[in-house]
Each structure stands twice: as C-alpha cells, then as structure tokens.
Structure 1
C-alpha cells in the first residue's frame, strides 16, 4: 500500500471516530436532557402539592357552605307542613274579631298564635311582605288570577294577596298567591 492509501485510510478512520464521538455526545446530551435535575423535580413536586392543597381548600369551603345551607333549610319540610296551621289561626282571629262577645276567646287564640308564630320565627321563618299596589314580580309572587284593574295605576300590580308567602332564611318556601290587575 502506498502512502496515499494509508493517509486516506487514516482519514476515514478519523472521520468514523469523529462521527462516533459526535453520536456519543448526542446520546449523552439526550440522556442528560431526559433526566431532570433535582431542582426541577422539587419544583414539579411543589407544584403538585400546591394544586392538591388548593383543591382540598376548595373542597373544605364547598362542604362547609353546603353544611350551612343544609342546617338553614333542614326544617323546611316541617315548616311547610305548619304553614296551614298559621293560616287557620289567622282565619280564626279574623272570624273571632267580628264577634264582640268572644273577647276572652280572641285573647286566648291570639296568645297561642303569637307564641306559635314567634317560635317559628326563632327557627328562621319570616313573612314575604306583599300588599296591594306592589309591582308584580314573578320571582317573588305566584299569580292565581288576573282581573280588570280598578284604575290605570294598578295595571300589572298586585290587587289583592289571597295567601301569604313565607321564607325560611333566604329561601322562599311558599310564594304569596296574588291577584293581578290587567
């Protein structure tokens, strides 16, 4: 073999070695890139922890709100079943007031009614105030009928309240039944 051939062969070997060294460096670079550093691992775990902590805090707040709402409306079914009794007391008081001879009876019924209603108020029951002339609001009132308005200013307004409405806390448990002018 000649010197030229030896030089070419050596160049080829050098090129192959250089290519192999570059390949090894690329593989090492890929290996280095694939393995996160300790700081990156810590940051990833810290992020996971913060997200989990935030989710838990939201869960606690949501369950707390739900529990408070449940306590506020826990007696709703009982209160709803007692509302006809309040209506009966009010009708009895109206009827007794017409009879002047039953003053003692009226005082006794009134005393029982007030005690009963005050007890329910302590448990969160309150009246939905509705009077003639109020503007009709479908979210607060339940319209049972419409009649021709006695005057122009009563069109679209409450003419009469047939049945009182009640709230338990902030939630309406019985809508006031009203007559509307058209």
Structure 2
C-alpha cells in the first residue's frame, strides 16, 4: 500500500508538471481581451460617421469632376475654330497679294480672274468645313429656314412661295446657321 500511497502523491506532481510543460510549449493561451459590445446607439453613430465620410469624399470627387469638365469645355470652345482659321489663312494671304497686284496692274481681266480664284478657294474651304448655301428662290416659305422681310402681291400660283432672295441662308453640317432673308408672294 505504500506503493499506492506513493503513486497518489506522485499523480498531483505529474499534473502540475504537465501544466508547466504545456505553458512552456505555448499551448496554454492567455485569455484574450474581449471587446466590449457596442450599444445600439454607438453602432448607429459609427455608421453615420462612416456614411458622412463616404458622402464627403464622393461630393469632393464630383466637384473635381465638374470643375475639370467645365475647364475642358471652355478650352474646346475657345479652340473650336482653330482648324477653320488655319484653313482661312492661305485665303487671307491670297487677298493680300491681290490687293498689291491691283495697285500695280491696270489689266482688269487679270484682276477679275485673280479675285474669282480667291473666291473659289474661299468657298471650297468653307464647304470643306461643312458650310452649305441654302437654295430658297421658288421654294415654299418655311419659318425654319427663311426670314420674311417683306411680302409681295403675286398671283395664286406664287402665293406662299419665295419670290426673291435678298440674303442667302446657310447650313453648317445640316443645321441652319443663318436664315435666308426672302421676299414672299402673298
């Protein structure tokens, strides 16, 4: 029995040794800090703060986008006519040469021919940019294309028709940019 008594005494020592051994091995984990549970009000406050932060960031991004696009639009408008101006400079040069030749030349037919060439070049440049003259004479009066400056008494066959064109109208890429000033039969 003494042996049993020794065994009983040894068992507690073995358990204590086992605990120490486990701690040394790192198996015994210290108790973790438990986050205190947030109250419903605190959770809602946190959500509101996050939503407010997201809103402010989104609003800032939108404002930056709006400013950037407005700046780009202004630059586009300012530079929109750049291509046209570049294409018209040679025509301007031709007009300057024509003015110089008018001063030194007495030949009217050469001057007329030069001016016709410049006019054709100018017209081709404008047509290449989308400008197209409007044909109005003999057409039915249309308020979308014509501006009636006066009416003229005409027969029943010319009533409502454009009798004369005082000033040509023009389209730019199929949009009316200048209404034709016309005389309409009544």
With normalisation by structure 2, the TM-score equals 0.48
- Bigger Cα Rg: 2
Higher relative CO (Cα under 8 Å, sequence separation at least 6) belongs to 1
With normalisation by structure 1, the TM-score equals 0.49
- Higher-helix-fraction structure: 1
